[in-house]
């Protein structure tokens, strides 16, 4: 299987993760023109599962290092499979809430609040489970990310106040915060099932990044029959939707959703592959710089802050500076 053999390459992989995790929401925005997010989410999950299988049978099966995917999957212990599956279930619950938040409040609000909160809590959880890197520099970087999140929250609050506000936006903010707390836990359950220090010769019973990703995606797909079915019947906003409506969607609409799942899956694969050299906390933290990417899309492409006054624009500018500085320190922490 393919293994990252240097910290520099691990950082590159983490930046790809950041781009993917911060960009998949664009596919939801594209599909939202004709498609409810509950229906989009089925395509997203299917795309994630199929892409995880493709990666496992290619990058996870070729090369002389480590165990090939099918062999690795066959020798995995029940406890490690359960841990990765649980990670998938937790992620799915959080991501459904994040998708709902995006539909209600927009990318520029939902991602910085939800994913940013997940970054802060997740770094603490992952560092406690697998400490790697300079903790002082790492957590100062995280503190700057927190400051960026605060700036975004203030900016979005002023936008809502200026526009008179609405209950859907407020509901979206609450959902983003709940999603962030849940999302902070999923990565650790999957990382705990892998032998992060010995990808080239993993301990018997433990998983490689590819088999862990496949099991994670299976957990997402299986739990979606429970979580998303419930949300379809009792949506956060709007009328209930049925499975019959899903099958009326065009091929293009379905492919857009699957693309979103594939983009997220690629980012997650690269994050777990990089964790062997960078450590779980740093790999997770860099990938969760995704709110900055999502905010760029929301501000400059989707114009979610169109008409903002000077104070809001200043807050957004400061937010980006804090994010960049925080990410720089997180990278530096792994070189110590």
Contact by Cβ (8 Å): 269, 263: no
Is residue 171 situated within a structural domain?
yes
Contact by Cβ (8 Å): 116, 180: yes
Is residue 1 situated within a structural domain?
no
Cβ-in-10-Å burial (0-12, 13-18, 19+) of 135 comes to middle
Alpha-carbon gap, residue 15 to 270, rounded angstroms: 9
Q: Which helix (H) or strand (E) holds 286?
A: helix 280-287
Is residue 168 situated within a structural domain?
yes
**Strand, helix or coil at 68?**
coil
Is residue 196 situated within a structural domain?
yes
Q: Which helix (H) or strand (E) holds 278?
A: helix 251-278
Per-residue pLDDT of the chain (336 residues; tens, 9 = 90+): 999 989 999 999 999 999 998 898 889 888 888 889 899 999 999 999 999 999 999 999 998 888 999 999 999 999 999 999 999 999 999 989 987 887 787 766 777 778 778 888 888 898 988 888 899 999 999 899 888 878 877 887 677 665 555 667 778 888 989 999 999 999 999 999 999 888 888 899 999 999 999 999 999 999 999 999 999 999 987 899 999 999 999 999 999 999 999 999 999 999 999 998 988 888 888 887 777 787 788 778 777 778 888 998 899 899 889 988 988 898 899 865
Range of the domain at 49: 7-333
Q: What is the pTM of this model?
A: 0.85
Is residue 2 situated within a structural domain?
no
194: which strand partners? 207
Is residue 108 situated within a structural domain?
yes
Alpha-carbon gap, residue 37 to 29, rounded angstroms: 9
Q: What are phi and psi of 207, to 5 degrees?
A: -105, 160
Q: Which of the 8 DSSP states describes residue 150?
A: H
**Strand, helix or coil at 194?**
strand
Is residue 282 situated within a structural domain?
yes
Q: Which helix (H) or strand (E) holds 202?
A: none
Per the structure, how many domains does the chain have?
1
Alpha-carbon gap, residue 270 to 289, rounded angstroms: 14
Sign of CA dihedral 28, 33, 259, 237: positive
CB under 8 Å to 47, separation ≥6 — which residues? 257, 258, 259, 260, 261, 262, 265
């Amino acid at each position: 299987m393919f293994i990252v053999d240097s910290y520099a390459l691990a950082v590159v992989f983490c930046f790809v993760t950041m781009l993917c995790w911060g960009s998949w929401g664009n596919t939801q925005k594209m599909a939202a023109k004709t498609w409810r997010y509950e229906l989009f989410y089925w395509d997203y999950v299917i795309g994630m599962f199929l892409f995880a299988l493709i990666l496992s049978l290619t990058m996870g099966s070729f090369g002389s290092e480590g165990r090939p995917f099918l062999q690795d999957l066959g020798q995995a212990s029940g406890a490690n499979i359960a841990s990765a599956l649980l990670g998938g279930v937790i992620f799915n619950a959080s991501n459904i809430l994040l998708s709902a938040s995006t539909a209600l409040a927009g990318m520029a609000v939902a991602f910085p609040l939800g994913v940013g909160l997940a970054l802060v809590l997740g770094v603490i959880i992952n560092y406690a489970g697998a400490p790697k890197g300079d903790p002082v520099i790492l957590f100062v970087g995280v503190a700057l990310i927190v400051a960026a999140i605060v700036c975004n929250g203030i900016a979005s609050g002023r936008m809502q106040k200026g526009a008179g506000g609405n209950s859907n936006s407020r509901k979206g903010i609450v959902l983003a915060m709940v999603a962030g707390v849940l999302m902070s836990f999923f990565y650790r359950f999957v990382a705990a099932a892998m032998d992060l220090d010995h990808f080239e010769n993993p301990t018997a019973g433990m998983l490689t990044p590819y088999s862990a990703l496949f099991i994670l995606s299976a957990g997402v797909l299986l739990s979606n029959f429970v979580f998303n079915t419930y949300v379809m019947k009792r949506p956060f906003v709007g009328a209930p939707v049925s499975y019959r409506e899903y099958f009326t969607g065009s091929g293009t609409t379905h492919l857009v959703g699957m693309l979103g799942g594939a983009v997220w899956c690629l980012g997650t694969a690269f994050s777990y592959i990089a964790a062997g050299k960078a450590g779980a906390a740093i790999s997770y933290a860099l990938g969760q710089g995704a709110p900055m990417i999502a905010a760029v899309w929301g501000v400059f492409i989707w114009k979610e802050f169109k008409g903002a006054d000077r104070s809001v624009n200043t807050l957004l500018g400061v937010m980006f500076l804090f994010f960049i500085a925080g990410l720089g320190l997180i990278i530096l922490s792994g070189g110590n």
